[in-house]
Amino acid sequence: MIRAGIVCGICNATEKLIKLLLLHPDVELLWVQDLHDAGMRLDALYGTLVGDTTMLTTDNAGDLAATDVVFLAASDSEAEQWLNDHELPDTLRVVDMSTPHREDWVYGLSEVNRKHMVHDCRRVTCPTPVAMAAGLALLPLAKNLMLNSSLQVVVATKSLCTMPQLKLSDAEKDKETRQEVERMLQDLQASFEASFEAWTTIEAAGTTCVLATVTLACNVQIDLLTELYRQYYDDHRFVHVITGELSQCYVMNTNKCLINIQPTGRRVQVSAIIDGDVKGLAGNAVHVMNLLFGLHEQVGLRF
């Protein structure tokens, strides 16, 4: 069994991460350190956990020497402080959901870095939901050196949550999303030795469903481009290319990404849709863990 611990702070997907780990057939959740609500029952903090656990949150991490993997489900500053405060055993794997950019850590987009994660990797930083959706829409194009200076990336997010939630101002959201997409594009250029320019726009804001749309000049016929995408994702179990309309109901509460390719005038439009809290955060973190420990990537994520 994989012995896991969670460091909880400010993270939308904490509840879903705990749920996934509790139900994972190869994981034993040893401890949950809550940086804000120590000593609370998990099922009191998160209503969907009623009947699943009576575990209490703690104000300290468990025995790291007896822990195989730690998930940092916190803000960037909270995760940074936690890492500074703890001496990590060499054998401990850490999956950081707080920031996609830590020096010398593997970037946790398995559709491009899976081989790195299955070969003695210890430290992984996960993409944000925005970068996940945009990256999956762009990867086959980058791999085949088809990105060009006409590239336009539009990211739209929509929340289905009816509960009040903390939201950034439009200016802050716009700035953070642009920066994240720009960093992700830089990663793609470095990975595939490509050179291109892109500009991004933000249509809406929220936390749950993320739709990334890429528009660019492309002379390849739609059916050939669609086949190129299918070939790229053929051995990646969570990404599916479809010809029908994308709908958030197809991906909600799943670790799937659906991609659609359509002509638009003289240009091509590629759209990718994901559940931002699952494929964009908690589900991807569990996917990463599966790879780190040599499990089939779908274990605990078939739903």
Q: What sign has the CA pseudo-torsion 274, 278, 280, 283?
A: negative
The rounded Cα 198 to chain-centroid distance in angstroms is 22
Residues 16 and 88 in one domain: yes
| Structural domain contains residue 284 | no
| Structural domain contains residue 287 | no
**CB distance 180 to 145 below 8 Å:** no
**Is pLDDT at 282 greater than 90 in this prediction?**
yes
| Structural domain contains residue 77 | yes
Residue linked to tokens 């009191």: 44
Which structural domain, as residue segments, surrounds residue 60?
2-99
Q: What is the mean pLDDT of the chain?
A: 85
Which residue(s) pair with 227 in the sheet?
A: none
Residues 195 and 269 in one domain: yes
Task: Determine the Cα–Cα distance for residues 300 and 303; give it in Å rounded to an integer.
Answer: 8
Q: Are strands 151-158 and 209-217 parallel, antiparallel or unpaired?
A: antiparallel
Residues 133 and 270 in one domain: yes
pLDDT per residue as tens digits for the range 141-173: 888 888 777 778 777 765 443 322 323 334 444
**Is pLDDT at 183 greater than 80 in this prediction?**
no
Residue 91 banded pLDDT, cuts 50, 70, 90: very high
Find, among 210, 203, 185, the residue nearest to 129 by Cα.
210
Number of domains in the chain: 2
How many CB atoms are located within 10 Å of the residue 203 CB? 11
Residue 213: per-residue pLDDT: 87
Secondary structure letter of residue 51 according to DSSP: T
pLDDT per residue as tens digits for the range 57-84: 999 999 999 999 999 999 889 999 999 9
Residue 217: per-residue pLDDT: 85
Task: Determine the Cα–Cα distance for residues 264 and 288; give it in Å rounded to an integer.
Answer: 35
Residue 177 banded pLDDT, cuts 50, 70, 90: low
Residue 147: per-residue pLDDT: 79
Residue 208 banded pLDDT, cuts 50, 70, 90: confident
Residue 214 banded pLDDT, cuts 50, 70, 90: confident
At residue 183's C-alpha, the angle toward residues 283 and 134, to 5°, is 50
Residue 265 banded pLDDT, cuts 50, 70, 90: confident
Residues 137 and 271 in one domain: yes
Task: Determine the Cα–Cα distance for residues 173 and 180; give it in Å rounded to an integer.
Answer: 10
**CB distance 180 to 100 below 8 Å:** yes
Task: Determine the Cα–Cα distance for residues 221 and 246; give it in Å rounded to an integer.
Answer: 21
CATH of the domain at 139: 3.30.360.10
Element spanning 291, H or E: helix 283-292
**Is pLDDT at 204 greater than 70 in this prediction?**
no
Task: Determine the Cα–Cα distance for residues 278 and 289; give it in Å rounded to an integer.
Answer: 14
